[in-house]
Amino acid sequence: MNNSFYKGWEIATSNASLFATEMQKVIEPSKEIVLQNTIEGISVFIAELRKLIEPTAKIVLPQIIKEVQSAIKPIAKRVNEIEQQYGSISAYLDIIIDERHQALEGFGWFYAFGVPDHIADEIYYRKNSINQNEVDDIVTSYFKEEDYTPLLTIISNWRDSPHFSSRQHIFEEAMETHSRGLFYSSITLLSVHTEGVIKDYVRVKLSSESDLRKCVDAIKKTLYKNSTASFSELDTKILFGFLNAVFLSDFWHKNPDLRHPKGNGITEQSHNLSRKKNAHGQVIRDVTEADSIKCFLYLHGLFHLFIELDRSVDGDE
């Protein structure tokens, strides 16, 4: 990808639209004739098919019904077992999702905001025989498919959000640096502007609060106050877990690779996705492609959260 990537994308889209318009001009005068011929052809086909089927229908149909019933019976039995054991299919699916999330979480990832089912399933079923590097390779390889199409699709969706669209050029620049392997640049851009997105949302929608941690708290309170149908409990746990434990985490100025010592003198390693650590220029080693992708995915989580909050908050006005 180079600096003209997005311009090229827009030109290609424009040309495709123009082609479709011209084709319609050609097709429009004759579409009624084509449609009529198509309908007549289908009618003839159905009539001929009926001639073939009717003589044997009385013999074949009962056998088909019997085979369908045989195929459905074990499925119905399994559904009944699940409902007896878990109470409902919905509860069973929640357990499956949670199990996959736990497997991914053990490797520093999460089952939400863009990680597809087939990736989550692969890691879940291989969790006891796979290592961290292999998991990172599986996830990053998916987001690199077809010249980063999965990530480009995510970023393209942000254009429709009033809380993201003003920074679209920044997110595209972060995508450009990410695709070129400049992960320090992409992570710094994304971490700083994640703060900007959060503060803008709170200022416009909720309050005049400017402290980042208080802004996150205000969003969380609004979420709990307004029930949302599609932003699940697991989504909430993942997103706010990241915001509080990683994004808002601090670092020790005496040793930026560590967090401030606790009361018992124990220190923990500081996180390279910490907004404060990036903003103060203290992330100087050990960032990866996986770290950069996580920044995009957490922003995508905010994107979905704001959609749900907008529906609730705007509905209360």
Residue 126 belongs to a domain: no
CA angle at residue 281 from 138 to 185, to 5 degrees?
A: 40
**Which tens digit of pLDDT belongs to each residue from 19-56?**
445 445 544 444 444 455 555 666 666 666 667 666 66
Instruction: For residue 206, give its domain range.
Output: 144-317
Please tell me the pTM assigned to this model. 0.72
DSSP letter at 106 equals T
Residue 75 belongs to a domain: no
Four-point Cα dihedral 172, 173, 177, 180, nearest 10: 60
What crossing angle do the helices spanning 289-316 and 183-201 adopt, rounded to 10°?
10
CA distance 83 to 258: 48
Residue 103 belongs to a domain: no
User: What's the confidence (pLDDT) of residue 138?
Assistant: 96
CA distance 192 to 173: 13
Per-residue pLDDT at 12 exceeds 50? no
Residue 184 belongs to a domain: yes
Higher pLDDT, 144 or 52: 144
Residue 1 belongs to a domain: no
Number of folded domains in the chain? Answer: 1
Residue 217 belongs to a domain: yes
Average pLDDT of the chain, as a whole number: 81
Residue 255 belongs to a domain: yes
CA distance 183 to 290: 9
User: What's the confidence (pLDDT) of residue 302?
Assistant: 93
CA distance 80 to 134: 38
Q: Which helix (H) or strand (E) holds 125?
A: helix 117-125
Residue 314 belongs to a domain: yes
Percentages of the chain per state (helix, strand, coil), in multiples of 5? 75, 0, 25
